[in-house]
């Protein structure tokens, strides 16, 4: 008879198995906090490969700098980030973010002096910044203990059988309550979720080669007769 784990125990077990298989992911792939924030906006509705092309265009123009990027016209910015798709819309969103950043004199330390709860409220008021983007910025750019929830999280843990709620904030609350306030753990866990969802737990999953078979309700239901 299988030992029945609590949801928290299963959550920690999945993390251990993911980490043992993939190792540390060294997220977010960026050189500084501002590059993280720009990447978080650019990655909306596109692949990271396309984001890298757009960021490289900004780097080649020495624009991974908030003060410099603020001075660039929106149409000029749109052309530089064209590879990431929805470039006019994302150019506007970056400009909206930079207007908010200007209130802090583009200073990372001034931002980090405030509580992440207050900063999250402010970020969510910026047009074009949703919960996933705001939380990615808080966690990966400013190292606040905020768990990022995305479509990969929902898909993976639904298949594993944790029965997550539909609401973003409720899912986030479950992870944070189960894991404790630990930004390093949140960072690694979210990165591992994304990695596994791209390698095995795709829309059309590769269940037969997956090392999480023994923990996965979807596999047991679909393939174990």
Q: Is 0.75 topped by the overall pTM?
A: yes
Closest CA to 115 of 86, 88, 136, 146: 146
Task: Express each pLDDT in 129-146 by its tens digit.
Answer: 999 999 999 999 999 999
Kindly state the tokens that stand for 176: 């944070």
pLDDT band at 6 (very low <50, low <70, confident <90, very high): confident
Domain boundaries, the chain: 7-26+148-223, 33-141
pLDDT (0 to 100) of residue 222: 84
When mean pLDDT is compared across 3-7, 10-14, 54-58, 136-140, the lowest value belongs to 3-7
C-beta contacts of 128-136 below 8 A and 24+ residues apart: 128/41, 128/89, 128/90, 128/92, 128/93, 128/96, 128/97, 129/41, 129/93, 129/96, 129/97, 131/168, 131/169, 132/168, 133/40, 133/41, 133/44, 135/172, 136/28, 136/36, 136/40
Residue 1 in this model has a pLDDT that exceeds 60:
no
pLDDT at 223: 81
User: In this model, does residue 3 exceed pLDDT 80?
Assistant: no
pLDDT tens digits for range 145-183 = 999 999 999 999 999 999 899 999 999 999 999 999 999
b/e burial code for range 118-146 (CB count within 10 A of at least 16 → b): ebbeebeebeebebbbbbbbbbbbbebbb
| pLDDT tens digits, 195-216 | 999 999 999 999 999 999 999 9
In the chain, what is the straight-line distance between the N-terminal and C-terminal CA atoms, in Å?
17
CATH numeric code, 33-141: 1.10.340.30
Categorize the per-residue pLDDT at 30 as very low, low, confident or very high, splitting at 50, 70 and 90.
very high
Give the whole-angstrom CA distance, residue 22 versus residue 142.
Answer: 25
State the virtual CA torsion across 164, 165, 169, 170 in degrees, nearest 10: -80
- The band of 224, judged by pLDDT with boundaries at 50, 70 and 90, is low
How many CA atoms are closer than 13 Å to the CA of 216, on its beta-carbon side? 21
Which 8-state DSSP code applies to residue 214?
Answer: G
What is the band of 17 on the pLDDT scale with cuts at 50, 70, 90? very high
Tens-digit pLDDT profile for residues 52-101: 999 999 999 999 999 999 999 999 999 999 999 999 999 999 999 999 99
- With tokens 């700098």, the residue in question is 65
User: Using CA atoms, how far apart are residues 43 and 10, in angstroms rounded to an integer?
Assistant: 30
| Fold assignment, 7-26+148-223 | Endonuclease Iii, domain 2 (1.10.1670)
């Amino acid at each position: 008879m299988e030992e029945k784990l609590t949801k928290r125990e299963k959550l920690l077990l999945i993390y251990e198995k993911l980490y043992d298989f993939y190792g540390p992911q060294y997220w977010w792939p960026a050189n500084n906090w501002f590059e993280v924030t720009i990447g978080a906006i650019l990655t909306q509705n596109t692949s990271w490969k396309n984001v890298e092309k757009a960021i490289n265009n900004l780097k080649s123009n020495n624009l991974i700098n908030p003060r410099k990027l603020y001075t660039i016209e929106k149409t000029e910015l749109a052309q530089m980030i064209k590879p990431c798709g929805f470039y006019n819309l994302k150019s506007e969103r970056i400009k909206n973010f930079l207007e908010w950043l200007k209130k802090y004199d583009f200073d990372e330390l001034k931002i980090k002096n405030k509580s992440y709860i207050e900063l999250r409220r402010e970020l969510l008021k910026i047009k074009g910044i949703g919960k996933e983007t705001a939380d990615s910025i808080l966690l990966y750019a400013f190292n606040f203990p905020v768990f990022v929830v995305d479509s990969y999280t929902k898909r993976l843990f639904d298949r594993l059988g944790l029965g997550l709620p539909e609401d973003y904030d409720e899912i986030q609350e479950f992870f944070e309550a189960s894991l404790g306030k630990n930004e390093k753990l949140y960072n690694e866990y979210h990165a591992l979720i994304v990695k596994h969802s791209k390698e095995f737990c795709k829309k059309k999953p590769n269940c037969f080669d997956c090392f999480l078979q023994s923990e996965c309700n979807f596999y047991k239901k679909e393939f174990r007769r």
